[in-house]
Every structure is written in C-alpha cells, then in structure tokens.
A and B are shown apart, each in its own frame.
Chain A
C-alpha cells in the first residue's frame, strides 16, 4: 500500500501505514560515510560530483560515523584496515546499512592471490547490497543506492529490534 496524498487548499496530507511514511522519510535522506580506500573511492567522489549528483537523492557525505546511515565500502579492504572498518561500523547508530562497492569489497576482486587483502567485506561485516564493477560506473552506484532505497521501503520499522527499547 503506497501512501495516499490528498492535496487540499491548506496543503497536502499523506495518509498511509506509519511504517511506510517513516521509510519514505528514511530512504530519501541516507547519509553516507565519507570513506573510501582505493579506486572505487574516486568513482564515489565522481558520483557525488556535478554530473551524477548523489545529493539529489538526499545523500550527502558525512565525515563522522555517528552521523552516517550507510557505509559504502569503496575499495580494497586489507587486513590492517579491516579492524578499523569494524570500529567505524560499530560506531554507526542503527539503522545502518553496508554497501559493498566494487569487486574488491564484494569478493576481493582481482587480488585473490594476495596475502594482504581481505576477500570481501562480508567476511567480517553484514553487507546489504553488492555492486560489482572495477570500478563500477556512477550509474551502477546509483542503481545500488536505488536498491538500498527499495530495501528500506520494505522494512517493518516498528517491529524491528532497533526501534524497540
């Protein structure tokens, strides 16, 4: 059921299940952590640039994990960095999401034989969306962001563990 919007002379009223209204607000204001390790970070920066503007989806970058909703793992993850990424992820307040952007964050990419690369972000973090590519085009990243918006749309907010105190 999508929210019904009634437009009247004094303004608009949206009527719908509370879950949906909350999700509508949440998905259109996802703040991502300004984090990137390698090449995909440059494509992340270009996606936030003028041509493919991530800001029009409500996504701005925040430097501190306390203010971020989504952690985009952009770039290769090494063993030395993995514990720090876990720290960053732990500092984010729930609801938080993780997007693995690029082959290296999905599965380790072309570094399968490397001794120093973690073969995928999901070996130590719960990943929600995987975006393949090396590096993924800005359009591919935007599709991933659309997918996470669709995922958020379907979430039952009021019944989730993190909203029950």
Chain B
C-alpha cells in the first residue's frame, strides 16, 4: 500500500484527520497525539498494514513550533512496505501514551526519548533513566540545553580549550 492509501485507511478507522507531511526525502503521516496509541495499534493489527517491526522511535525538538515530535519508523516484513508516523506534543507538557504494549521494542526507545528530550510516557513499565547517569539534570538533546561548569564533580571543559560558540 502506498502512503496515501495508508493515510486514508487510518483516517477512516480512527475517525480523526491524518495529514501527510512532505519535504524532500521520505514523506510521513502526522497523527494527532490524542489518537497516537490507537493509530499504532491499527498499524500493527490491520491485515492490510501488518507493521510488526518498529524500526526506530525518535524524538525531535522543535523549539520554534513549541512542540516535541515523536517519529516512528515502521516496516512490515510480510507486505514489504514502510511507514513513517509522527505526532506532536507541547514542549512543556509532552505526555504521550506508551507504545510498550504495542511493540516491546518501543520500551527502550521511549526511555531514551524521555530522558534526552523530556517526554513523559504514560503507563510505561519502567520509566527510569537509561543512558544518562543518575542525577543528571536537564534534557541534553533539547536545543537550549547548556551544561554547567562541572558535572558529577568533574570539570566539563578541558582547561585551555575554548569552544567556539556555546559549549553543548
């Protein structure tokens, strides 16, 4: 199925508008965040879609739009088609339902997105830090993240190195 057919099918099943987003490169479908989990369940369960493989779940910071985006790349081994699904949530209160019950692969991707970007995934089975040390403050992958002079007791900049622009 191509993207327009998938978009039409999802719109019909969800009862919500699924818009197509396209720049150069891969086009994607944008789903409202209220229907995020249902859309993903449909993608997995509908016979015509059968997206069993969650390739990646990536968070993107869009400060000028005031939102955080979550982009899922899906693939179906049986039907050999791909889908890029995205949703947006407000930057200060980015709460989305967890997809761990839909694809177990989403578990760790969501933990990483939560700690690096500041998402909150409701009903996540294990919402601890994954790759950042305990006690890390801030969300490093946000565009306005600035690090202090020391982290966990060790200086963050090598004495004698002056970074051009702001050190991230």
Contact = CB atoms under 8 A, between A and B. Distances in A.
B77 interface: no
B1 interface: no
A78 B154 CA distance: 11
Chain B interface size, as a band, is: 10 to 19
Interface stretch (A32-40, A49-57, A113-121): A113-121
B17 interface: no
A4 B58 CA distance: 68
A40 B168 CA distance: 25
Contacts, number: 39
Interface in A103-120: 107-108, 112-113, 115-116, 118-120
A116 B158 contact: no
A21 to B, nearest CB: 40
A158 interface: no
B161 to A, nearest CB: 6
Nearest to B166: A113
Nearest to A81: B133
B147 interface: yes
A83 interface: yes
Contacts of B153: 124
Interface in B146-168: 147, 151-158, 161, 163, 167-168
A118 to B, nearest CB: 5
A82 interface: yes
A82 B133 CA distance: 10
B157 A119 contact: yes
Nearest to A112: B161
Contact of A113 (B151, B154, B168): B168
Contact of A119 (B132, B161, B168): B161
A115 B158 contact: no
Interface in A60-110: 78-80, 82-83, 107-108
B21 to A, nearest CB: 30
Nearest to A83: B152
Contacts of A123: 154-155
A82 B156 contact: no
B163 A116 contact: no
A116 to B, nearest CB: 7
**Smallest CB-CB A-B distances: 3 pairs:** A119-B158, A80-B133, A79-B152
Given A79-B151, A79-B152, 16 more contacts: A78-B133, A112-B157, A112-B161, A113-B163, A113-B168, A115-B140, A115-B145, A115-B151, A115-B168, A116-B140, A118-B154, A119-B157, A119-B158, A119-B161, A120-B158, A123-B154
